[in-house]
Amino acid sequence: MANSAGSRKRARQAEKRRQHNASLRSMVRTYIKKVVKAIDGGDKAAAAEALKVAQPMMDSSVNKGIFHKNQIARTKSRLNARIKALA
């Protein structure tokens, strides 16, 4: 465990940051699930709208270092392909 005052503070900061990142990661995953649910429901318009809302959240999570850029790019590509396949 942290002994010096500085290392105790770092441990507090790290825990606070971990919880914040977990919250952001969960939020993005929820937006992705909304898109998947709309796709599974067969509603192309709703799915496209849900993806339109989710994409900026996904991109900002990459900029914040929550997800790797290739993972989000792959996810967006697959969701887009599934939406196009609904036609």
Task: Give all domains of the chain, ordered by start, each with its CATH number.
Answer: 5-85 (1.20.58.110)
pLDDT at 26: 98
Q: What is the mean pLDDT of the chain?
A: 96
With a threshold of 0.75, does the pTM exceed it? yes
pLDDT at 2: 80
CB 53 within 8 A of CB 28: no
Beta carbons within 10 angstroms of residue 63's beta carbon: 9
CB 28 within 8 A of CB 66: yes
Which ranges in 1-87 belong to alpha helices (H)?
Answer: 5-40, 44-63, 69-85
Q: How far is the CA of 11 from the CAs of 19, 21, 22, 66, in angstroms?
A: 12, 15, 16, 19
Does residue 1 surpass a pLDDT of 80? Answer: no
| pLDDT digits 0-9 by tens, 31-73 | 999 999 999 999 999 999 999 999 999 999 999 999 999 999 9
